[in-house]
């Protein structure tokens, strides 16, 4: 069964434009309610969280209407990180969790992500079934069975208390000055409060959301602002989250950035030494740098690669019994603690290593030398298929042969935006630039 609405991370698009309209949110809510009420009964509930986008109000109300129309009782969490929804779905014994967020995208975009009762994101098959219900006539509840909605005032606090339990009990953050950039997003209250309660001196950045400034020149996709704050305040480390706080980038005391690959390398090595790394391997995507693979191999640690998308990382982790995985973009998944990427918990793991070793951040963020890598994006109009054009395929094939034995090429269509992503790795940086530019030029000509 194919999916049209759902991409690699839920349903996503420009707010008030198909499919991110109030009408579609209502239908999705009703379809999800019907899907999760297949066994009947009257005790069904759903938790809904959101980030700080202006369009979140509209989509929250529409989803609530759709869900209650099929008999689901809705528990509204307000602005909370995506991993909080996964956690609270399980904690509150809900049948389904919903997060309204477009993650690292600008405020004009929004998205709807669903979590099952186990707190994990839905499978492709489940999403396809919900789509089929959207396209059919949805069976509504009888008037007496319409669901209720209730706002949960302490959802964020419950999540914060859980997050603190993931930090080693014998450690504190006393003496550490930490810049925390919350991207004007979902963690703008939770992250600074957790760090302060663990003893850190906190310098907050990106904690004044106004509905339109989420991810705007701040957060994990724009680390310059946090880097400037680290230097200006003489901070020991910087932590940059994205809009829904499921990604993280770490900055050392000079403002230098460590991406997800470097963070995963540090954690994998530490967990392997401590005998905590289940399956003896890290799960990462095809985007992770070849340098990470070499680093792990030298330590007898395996690397399991998946398609791009944290949900595919999680699926492989669950299938193989692994407990650590993630993406270069900063999704770090630790199934000992969370059901999805959690930027705050990953940041705490890094801080714990600083506290345990008394090493500066600069001594921890560079675990391996990266193989030169270049990534360029080409935007295209929805409905176009530039990668299927013969002219583009010819250029890709020629450059694949050219780089063979020296590096690799990865070209894919983004699952969250109308972009073609062209990535290559090669020890020869001159060849790397030439290969990427030639392919990008061919794609641009086609679009």
**Which neighbouring-strand residues pair with 135?**
none
CB-based contact 268:350 (threshold 8 Å): no
Token representation of residue 367: 């675990």
Just list the catalytic residues.
Answer: 103
HEC assignment per residue over the chain: CCCCCCEECEEEEECCCCCCCHHHHHHHHHHHHHHHCCCCCCCCEEEEEECCCCHHHHHHHHHHHHHHHCCCEEEEEEECCHHHHHHHHHHCCCCEEEEECCCCCCCCEEEEEEECCCCCECCHHHHHHHHHHHHCCCCCCCHHHCCCEEECCCHHHHHHHHHHHCCCCCCCCCCCEEEEECCCCCCCCHHHHHHHHCCCEEEEECCCCCCCCCCCCCCCCCCHHHHHHHHHHCCCEEEEECCCCCEEEEECCCCCEECHHHHHHHHHHHHHHCCCCHHHEEEEECCCCHHHHHHHHHCCCEEEEECCCHHHHHHHHHHHCCCEEECCCCEEEECCCCCCCCHHHHHHHHHHHHHHHCCCHHHCCCCCCCCCEEEEEEECCCCCCHHHCHHHHHHHHHHHHHHCCCEEEEEEECCCCCEEEEEEEECCHHHHHHHHHHHHHHHHHHC
CB-based contact 350:171 (threshold 8 Å): no
Whose structure tokens read 């030029």?
441
Instruction: Return phi, psi of residue 50, to 5°.
Output: -155, 165
Name residues whose C-beta falls within 8 Å of residue 242's C-beta, 6 or more positions apart in sequence. Answer: 103, 104, 183, 185, 215, 219, 220, 221, 248, 330, 343
CA distances from 263 to 87, 144, 331, 332, 358 (A): 23, 52, 10, 8, 17
């Amino acid at each position: 069964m194919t999916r049209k609405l759902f991409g690699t991370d839920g349903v996503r698009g420009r707010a008030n434009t198909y499919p991110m309209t109030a009408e579609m949110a209502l239908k999705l809510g009703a379809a999800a309610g019907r899907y999760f009420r297949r066994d009947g009964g009257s005790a069904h509930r759903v938790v809904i969280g959101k980030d700080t986008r202006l369009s979140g109000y509209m989509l929250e109300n529409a989803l609530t209407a759709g869900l209650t129309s099929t008999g689901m009782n809705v528990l509204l969490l307000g602005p909370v990180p995506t991993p909080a929804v996964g956690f609270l779905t399980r904690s509150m014994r809900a049948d389904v969790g919903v997060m309204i967020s477009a993650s690292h995208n600008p405020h004009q975009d929004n998205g709807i992500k669903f979590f099952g009762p186990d707190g994990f994101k839905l499978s492709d098959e489940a999403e396809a079934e919900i789509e089929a219900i959207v396209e059919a006539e949805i069976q509504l509840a009888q008037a007496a069975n319409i669901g209720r909605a209730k706002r949960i005032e302490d959802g964020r606090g419950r999540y914060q208390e859980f997050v603190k339990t993931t930090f080693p009990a014998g450690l504190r953050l006393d003496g550490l000055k930490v810049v925390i950039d919350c991207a004007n997003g979902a963690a703008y209250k939770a992250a600074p409060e957790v760090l302060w309660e663990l003893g850190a001196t906190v310098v907050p950045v990106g904690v004044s959301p106004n509905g339109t400034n989420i991810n705007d020149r701040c957060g994990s996709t724009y680390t310059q602002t946090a880097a400037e704050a680290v230097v200006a305040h003489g901070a020991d480390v910087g932590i940059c989250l994205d809009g829904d706080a499921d990604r993280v980038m770490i900055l050392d005391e000079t403002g230098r950035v460590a991406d997800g690959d470097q963070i995963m390398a540090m954690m994998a090595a530490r967990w392997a030494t401590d005998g905590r790394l289940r399956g003896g391997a890290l799960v990462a995507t095809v985007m992770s740098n070849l340098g990470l693979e070499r680093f792990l191999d030298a330590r007898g640690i395996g690397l399991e690669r998946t398609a791009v998308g944290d949900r595919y990382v999680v699926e492989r982790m669950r299938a193989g019994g692994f407990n650590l995985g993630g993406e270069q973009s900063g999704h770090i998944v630790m199934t000992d603690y969370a059901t999805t990427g959690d930027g705050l918990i990953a940041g705490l793991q890094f801080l714990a290593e600083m506290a345990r070793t008394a090493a500066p951040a600069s001594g921890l963020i560079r675990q391996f030398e990266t193989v030169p890598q270049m990534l360029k994006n080409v935007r295209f109009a929805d409905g176009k298929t530039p990668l299927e054009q013969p002219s583009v395929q010819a250029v890709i094939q020629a450059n694949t042969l050219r780089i063979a034995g020296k590096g690799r090429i990865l070209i894919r269509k983004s699952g969250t935006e109308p972009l073609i992503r062209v990535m290559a790795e090669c020890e020869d940086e001159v060849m790397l630039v030439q290969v990427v530019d030639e392919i990008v030029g061919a794609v641009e000509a086609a679009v």
